[in-house]
Structure 1
């Protein structure tokens, strides 16, 4: 088991760059978030690091995660570019380092050997994977010496990832959910509106509370200070069994992030 304890909610930074990213990270940390998610792909690691330094929060109190770009997953490139990520973030280590997608230069033996060595060297305090299938998770668990701390995937009430949530429970890692608000495209779902009305709250808060109720760590992203704070406050929303049953009764399913090269399309 990993010794990294993930908070109930994290802050995603996909799509945020420059000063907007710096300020959103600072706002998020000052609002109470203690889990930050970035990636080489997002081209914002320097801004994330700058936002961390501006916030009135100790570095040791923050779980910082980044992800290796698919094209950088060759053995040498994975090791080199992960060290470069530390320099861009201006930190001594990341707390969680993911394989971002098992595509591009991903080779299970070589890529995961690099991940193990980065963990052993202290570049990453723990390791994870993202956008894997159960079969790829089985393979990774066989190859890795380090425990998988987290598996990050799209997860929201219209794409609840039942199989991968059960897999995470069975194997002792955390499912981290990106797009936990369904990019806003799911907000008009009647069942979600019904639950929001019961609590006099927003559908966004309901989506985040649902994820946490299911044991998923959602990582909502925003550059709007009001939304950043409101999303964090969703940690205080407690759904009833009736609420959860209402949401689980949604029959529609919608995957929003679905590249042709994704493992589930092969």
Structure 2
């Protein structure tokens, strides 16, 4: 498995996203991912699946220190004391003494990130988290968060795919040695049958999904956390580092479209 290196920290470049995975399906999916060599698992308080993620990790043969675990604090827990207490509850559910990365899941306009960061710094000083970051922060919010934070911001997790490539944010992350973690890197399923990706994939004997993930991980400082429950897709998603896309192919894949990106997001949210 390839890694992204930021601020001297190595993070597996492909992880498993667990949004909308609950119960036994979540447990079985995380277990399968670990079996296939995944060493990066992404969860959140809002997902209500930390217990299942933790059980899968406990039941696996993989050592805890070999797995990068990210969880996220809900915006309602953004105040310092709530950050600390809710994270301790997350650790109990995960069955671990620490998480590798703690993110604020969404900005909370009623709470200064300075206060959130103080809670994260306390957790880091107590050894309960290794690193801190944010999620769903646009460039200007990330810049302000970095200015206010008492703890280094390792990552910003955002929706990221060829229709929503976040050029300005990605460039800023590169300049500040910050990891951009891509959730929904397959555009909520909208790239599975994409003709451009299919055409390019034929040249490398790869699926459109594998091409999309290789496109994303080809950027500096970008890791991906696609979600799937299919064992075959889990295997395929990890097998993307044995080919390289040309600059021309990457340009063809990159097709910014706010309208298309939003439409796919809404379709997924509404179950259409």
SS at match of 1:159: coil
For structure 2, which runs of at least 5 residues remain unmatched after alignment?
Answer: 1-5, 267-272
Which of 80, 90, 106 aligns to 2:95? It is: 90
Moved more, 160-169 or 2-11: 2-11
Q: Which residue of 1 aligns with 2:113?
A: 108
Counterparts of residues 165-176 of structure 1 (less than 5 Å): 165-176=170-181
Distance in 2, Cα, partners of 1:153 & 1:198: 30
**TM-score, with structure 1 as normaliser:** 0.91
Distance in 2, Cα, partners of 1:212 & 1:33: 15
SS at match of 2:107: coil
8 Å CA contact 1:71–1:105 kept in 2: the answer is no
SS at match of 2:155: strand
Structure having the larger proportion of residues in strand:
2
CA drift at 1:13: 0.7
**TM-score, with structure 2 as normaliser:** 0.89
Distance in 1, Cα, partners of 2:129 & 2:46: 18
SS at match of 2:261: coil
The superposition leaves residues 24-79 of structure 1 with CA deviations (integer Å, 9 ceiling, x where unpaired) of: 11111111111110000000001001111222211111111100011111222111
The size of the alignment, in residue pairs, is 258
Distance 1:212 1:110, change over 3 A: same
> Does 1:232 pair with 2:238?
yes
8 Å CA contact 2:181–2:225 kept in 1: the answer is yes
Distance 1:71 1:251, change over 3 A: closer
> Does 1:117 pair with 2:118?
no
8 Å CA contact 2:113–2:149 kept in 1: the answer is no
Moved more, 202-211 or 71-80: 71-80
Distance in 2, Cα, partners of 1:182 & 1:157: 8
Distance in 2, Cα, partners of 1:165 & 1:24: 30
8 Å CA contact 1:156–1:211 kept in 2: the answer is yes
SS at match of 1:86: helix
For structure 1, which runs of at least 5 residues remain unmatched after alignment?
Answer: 260-266
Which of 218, 221, 228 aligns to 1:222? It is: 228
Q: Which residue of 2 aligns with 1:127?
A: 132
Which of 3, 6, 21 aligns to 2:26? It is: 21
Q: Which residue of 1 aligns with 2:3?
A: none
8 Å CA contact 2:155–2:179 kept in 1: the answer is yes
Alignment root-mean-square deviation, CA: 1.9
Moved more, 250-259 or 239-248: 250-259
Q: Which residue of 2 aligns with 1:210?
A: 215
> Does 1:47 pair with 2:72?
no
